[in-house]
DNA sequence: GCCGGCATCTCCCAAATGGGAGATAAGGAC
DNA sequence: GTCCTTATCTCCCATTTGGGAGATGCCGGC
């Protein structure tokens, strides 16, 4: 981490967003953009190459989820400073980003000032969360974690599979699937399987 | 429409995208950005004020859907040239954008060159669709239109409502809801209500 | 060792779901 | 006028769903 200027790596598959970020940061004398990655693979490679002070990472990438990329980078470089940027501002999402080792979270609608504030704050070792998200994070009673099996079942439910079909596909009894369903319905507090799917999508547990 | 330069209105709720577009266009001598709107309401007002040659419109806006904003502008100004920009590149989406009167469609991942090409093409009276989308549009056998009522029912299904609850909410008999469901299931070729919801989301018919 | 979470399985049973078939009425398109 | 779509309704009925209340074996944490 050089004292003279903060090096920044931008990771986003949308050209327009990369351009917006670059244009916002290039006006600042203490920030220097060292690279722009279009997907998770490129992000991992570029991180190794440039070792940026701060990485701005989009949540949704064509290959790997941004949270997963963050997890991988942090596991090999615990001192990495990553700010996740996402359209999706659910408490779920933020929670998982933080858990993965991100140091900041920015909604895509953030103004110039907040963006710079976040980068500088994170570069100097601080955390950054937008105020309205901090408060929502506090009352995150809605945070639930589904087991791998439950998530797998839910994914098949989202595909329109019936319990019996899911049972065949996973090679277990139908009763087992019903039990998993029963558990995940109660975890998500969903009245039925359809709402369980839409809730899981809303909370970022499931992707279409 | 001035012959000297093309005036452009940018509509997007994400600051970073607006910045990206502005920075991409400001380097071009024949393009002039006359305004940036953050939502549908602002877009309508700004369009009236500036009468831009070309409007770049995001598909997802906080208040009204971009396609709907397009429809409204075009209905009062049939000569409006609007390019829809979206993350979502389903044939469905493009089809509805075109139907609403848009003259072009751009994925958010589009590079600089395509963006400028689209603006200039549309400003001079042409249409613009990315090549890979044109071909997909041709084989859009999957395009189905749900009636207003069917969509309303499906929205409530996505919320986890049972047929009986939906019937009460809409003030009709439960049998009626079942018929609507039956019709929309067959239109979407969905095996059950859950898959109907996820399919509708995938195809951009329904938003969470 | 004990306990909690997970995955698996077993009953029972009321309620919801979805398919089939058909009918009526209103409104628009050709 | 006829045809089509939409919305409304009515039967019937097999299958599915989801809740309740268990039990077993396994693994990891304390």
Task: Look at residue B117 in the predicted model and tell me its pLDDT.
Answer: 92
A132-141, B4-13, B44-53: range with lowest mean pLDDT: A132-141
Our CA-based measurement puts residue A197 at a distance from the nearest CA of chain B, in whole angstroms, of 8
Cβ-contact A22, B21 below 8 angstroms: no
Helix (H), strand (E), coil (C) string for chain B: CCCCCEEEEEECCCHHHHHHHHHHHCCCCCEEEEEEECCHHHHHHHHHHHCCCEEEEECCCCCCCHHHHHHHHHHHCCCCCEEEEECCCCHHHHHHHHHCCCCEEEECCCCHHHHHHHHHHHHCCCCECCHHHHHHHHCCCCCCCCCHHHHHHHHHHHCCCCHHHHHHHHCCCHHHHHHHHHHHHHHHCCCCHHHHHHHHHHCCCCCC
Cβ-contact B40, B15 below 8 angstroms: no
What number of residues does chain B have?
208
pLDDT reading at B208 higher than 80: no
Verify whether the Cβ–Cβ distance A201 to B208 is below 8 Å. Answer: yes
pLDDT reading at B116 higher than 70: yes
Output the DSSP codes for A135-193: HHHHT-TT-----HHHHHHHHHHHTT--HHHHHHHHTS-HHHHHHHHHHHHHHHT-SSH
pLDDT reading at A79 higher than 70: yes
Section B61-68 average pLDDT = 85
Rounded-to-integer distance, Cα A20 and Cα A26, Å: 10
pLDDT reading at B71 higher than 80: yes
pLDDT reading at B141 higher than 70: no
The answer to pTM > 0.85 is no
Question: Which nucleotide lies closest to B175 by the C1' atom and the CA atom?
Answer: D9
Rounded-to-integer distance, Cα B86 and Cα A72, Å: 29
Rounded-to-integer distance, Cα A100 and Cα A65, Å: 11
* pLDDT tens readout for residues A103-155: 988 888 888 888 999 999 999 988 888 776 666 555 544 456 788 899 999 99
Residues in A closer than 8 angstroms to B24, CB to CB, are: 16, 19
Which letter, b or e, does each residue of A39-73 get, where b requires 16 or more Cβ atoms within 10 Å of its Cβ?
bbebbbebbeebebbbbbbbbbbeebbbbebbbbb
* pLDDT tens readout for residues A152-200: 999 999 999 999 999 999 999 999 999 999 999 998 889 999 999 998 8
* pLDDT tens readout for residues A20-59: 898 889 889 999 999 999 999 999 999 999 999 999 999 8
Nearest CA-CA partner of B65 in B35, B31, B92, B34: B92
Q: What is the mean pLDDT of chain B?
A: 85
Q: In percent, how much of chain B has pLDDT > 90?
A: 41
pLDDT reading at B142 higher than 50: no
pLDDT reading at A2 higher than 50: no
Task: Look at residue A92 in the predicted model and tell me its pLDDT.
Answer: 66
Give the CA-to-C1' distance from A149 to D20 in angstroms: 22
pLDDT reading at B1 higher than 60: no
Element (H, E) at A4: none
Q: Which residue do the tokens 């920075």 mark?
A: B23
How many contacts (CB atoms, under 8 Å) link A and B?
Answer: 114
Rounded-to-integer distance, Cα B39 and Cα B61, Å: 6
Task: Look at residue B143 in the predicted model and tell me its pLDDT.
Answer: 57
Element (H, E) at A99: helix A91-100
pLDDT reading at A76 higher than 90: no
pLDDT reading at B35 higher than 70: yes
Task: Look at residue B91 in the predicted model and tell me its pLDDT.
Answer: 63
Q: What is the mean pLDDT of chain A?
A: 86
């Amino acid at each position: 981490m050089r004292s003279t200027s903060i090096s920044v790596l931008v990771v986003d598959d949308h050209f327009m967003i990369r351009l917006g970020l670059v244009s916002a940061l290039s006006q600042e004398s203490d920030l220097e953009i060292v690279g722009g990655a279009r997907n998770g693979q490129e992000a991992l490679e570029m991180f190794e190459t440039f070792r940026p002070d701060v990485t701005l990472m989009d949540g949704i990438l064509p290959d790997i989820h941004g949270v997963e990329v963050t997890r991988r980078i942090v596991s090999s470089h615990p001192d990495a400073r990553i700010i996740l940027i996402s359209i999706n501002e659910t408490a779920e999402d933020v929670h998982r980003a933080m858990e993965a080792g991100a140091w900041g979270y920015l909604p895509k609608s953030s103004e110039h000032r907040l963006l710079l504030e976040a980068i500088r704050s994170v570069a100097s070792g601080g955390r950054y969360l937008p105020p309205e998200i901090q408060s929502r994070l506090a009352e995150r009673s809605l945070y639930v974690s589904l087991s791998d099996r439950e998530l797998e079942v839910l994914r098949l439910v989202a595909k329109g599979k019936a319990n019996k079909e899911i049972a065949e596909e996973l090679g277990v009894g139908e009763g087992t699937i019903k039990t998993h369903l029963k558990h995940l319905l109660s975890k998500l507090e969903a009245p039925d399987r359809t709402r369980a799917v839409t809730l899981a999508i809303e909370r970022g547990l499931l992707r279409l």
